[in-house]
A and B are shown apart, each in its own frame.
Chain A
Amino acid sequence: GAGVSQTPSNKVTEKGKYVELRCDPISGHTALYWYRQSLGQGPEFLIYFQGTGAADDSGLPNDRFFAVRPEGSVSTLKIQRTERGDSAVYLCASSLIRTAKNTEAFFGQGTRLTVV
């Protein structure tokens, strides 16, 4: 696609429910990143994929959070037993290669998750 696409744009869920957030990166981009942006804060790194594998998941806050990228393209961020503190904007980004010197990460418009 022309840009990074994230769906849904907004998601409201009840506390304790399971949610899936989808990211469709720019075609051909091998690197994919998830960030979480709480209200009034800068984005915080969650996980990075190179191809199909999670190369760095050090930002995932706990085992309720999980992400997959089975075919090296679309990625899904999964949150189990949602809590009100999970409410945030979840941003996805993709890039061609890992280094910053010759490329940049392109961000989607995010999914605003609200847990009530």
Chain B
Amino acid sequence: AQTVTQSQPEMSVQEAETVTLSCTYDTSESNYYLFWYKQPPSRQMILVIRQEAYKQQNATENRFSVNFQKAAKSFSLKISDSQLGDTAMYFCAFMKPPGAQKLVFGQGTRLTINP
């Protein structure tokens, strides 16, 4: 079974700083998808960024980028120029294709951006 581990329960940075959230996973699959989701106090999970394991190039979405290290089974999220609205829980998630989006989530990291 796949497992996802987020070793940082909480992180806090000043506005405009760069922050990196860590995630490691365990799988025997060679092809899979990895995701970062944001969960604000409203509880709604919002997709931040996704990475396909067969793609070597790291995914980027505006201020959000990932460092995908397949051999190390590591998938970290970097947030540049952090904003107050980035304050939320962040979850790393794994999905094995080709089937349903049965996501396996990590325990989450609570990120606080301070003014």
Contact = CB atoms under 8 A, between A and B. Distances in A.
Contacts of A45: 102-104
Interface residues of B, number: 26
A48 B105 contact: no
A105 interface: yes
A116 B78 CA distance: 41
Contact of B100 (A41, A43, A56): A56
A56 B102 contact: yes
B106 A42 contact: yes
Interface in A19-52: 31, 33, 35, 40-45, 48, 50
Interface residues on A, range: 20 to 34
A98 interface: yes
Contact of B101 (A40, A59, A95, A110): A95
Nearest to B108: A42
Given A45-B102, A48-B100, A101-B52, 20 more contacts: A31-B100, A33-B100, A40-B107, A40-B108, A41-B108, A42-B93, A42-B106, A42-B107, A43-B45, A56-B100, A59-B102, A93-B45, A98-B98, A98-B100, A99-B98, A100-B95, A100-B101, A105-B47, A105-B103, A107-B44
Interface of B: 4, 33, 35, 42-47, 50, 52, 91, 93, 95, 97-108
14 contacts: A33-B101, A41-B108, A42-B91, A42-B108, A45-B103, A56-B99, A56-B100, A59-B102, A91-B43, A95-B101, A100-B35, A101-B33, A105-B103, A110-B43
